[in-house]
Structure 1
Amino acid sequence: MEQKRHIVELYEQTINWVKELKEVSDEQWRMPVAPGKWTIAEVIGHLIFWDLFVLEKRLPFFFEKCILPASPNVDVTNRLASEESKIKTKEELIISFVATRTKLVSAIKKIPDENWNSQLSLKSKEITLMDYFAGLLDHDCRHFDEIRAALRKHGK
């Protein structure tokens, strides 16, 4: 299925792109992407937390005809991700992102094509799995654009 292949390719591109962040200096890694925003480290840590949520609390339940586990409090989850990212090294965060995102890609590949356009009930709205993953990728891309802009601004 073309849509699924496209989503998988985009996720694989994010893995390669984050691997390239090994080249940024530790100073750049710990700089806010914009005034009052997270550091690059915190952005990557935030993405790890949400990938784990999708892997553990969404994908196993999407097609089970049961109530999905509640979403965590976004502010609390983001704060925890931020705090954890501050104490981990760049290498640890990149390795963790790559490992978690690779597991997510593998899980996506295992979803039968016939489920790809199935309707899912999230909160009070119905969306397809394609829409769900497209929304997650849009979220990631906004963060990656912030990182790119910050690195351009600081000469990388």
Structure 2
Amino acid sequence: MNEKSQLLREFKEWICFVSKIREMDWQIKIAEDKWSVHDIVSHILLWDKYFYEAAINPILNNMPLTLTQIDFDQFNKDAVEFGKTKTKEELIEMTIQYRNMILQSIESLEDDKLTKEYADGEFTVISYLKDFIWHDQHHVRQIEELKRRAK
């Protein structure tokens, strides 16, 4: 299996995980003064939406990237607030939709676009996948630990 296939397979795992935790109580916080499961899913969803719209889709369509310097804390706060306006089912649906759009777009990219440096060397598709696979897995571990404690 080549690197692209392996990374796409790992990146897709978030969809399976979100579906697997559908029956969980998403309002439980992972720890005191930390996010709930609902907040985490909303957070990842909005990062997916941002990167799809600002990077992946533009690369696919040979357009300039619109990535900007983001205040991560504010972005994450906004993601939590966004999540409060959505039901669990809406978040699941949007999570699957955006993650699949990213997966399909990257799957269709020519190999040279995977390692090409965009935004003055700030972004490559391969590094994006690796970073967000790590990010997904970080939050999966948090939620899995919460599930273990709740038993």
Question: TM-score, normalization: structure 1?
Answer: 0.84
Distance 1:69-1:116 versus aligned 2 partners, 3 A rule: closer
Aligned Cα RMSD in Å?
A: 2.2
The partner residue of 2:98 within 100, 103, 108 is 100
Q: Which residue is 1:117 aligned to? A: 115
Distance 1:66-1:91 versus aligned 2 partners, 3 A rule: closer
Question: TM-score, normalization: structure 2?
Answer: 0.87
* Matched positions, count: 150
Q: Which runs of at least 4 in structure 1 moved beyond 6 Å after TM superposition?
A: none
The partner residue of 1:132 within 122, 128, 134 is 128
The partner residue of 1:46 within 43, 47, 69 is 43
Give distance in 2, aligned partners of 1:154 and 1:13: 23
Any stretches of 5+ residues in structure 2 without a counterpart? none
Distance 1:88-1:67 versus aligned 2 partners, 3 A rule: closer
Q: Which residue is 2:144 aligned to? A: 148
Show the 5 A alignment for 1:64-75: 66=64, 68-75=66-73
Deviates more, 1:69-78 or 1:59-68: 59-68
Give 1 or 2: higher strand fraction. 1
Q: Secondary structure at the match of 1:115?
A: helix
Q: Which residue is 2:89 aligned to? A: 91
Q: CA deviation at 1:127?
A: 5.8
Any stretches of 5+ residues in structure 1 without a counterpart? none
Distance 1:13-1:23 versus aligned 2 partners, 3 A rule: same
Percent of aligned pairs with the same amino acid: 24
Give distance in 2, aligned partners of 1:133 and 1:11: 7
Distance 1:127-1:9 versus aligned 2 partners, 3 A rule: same
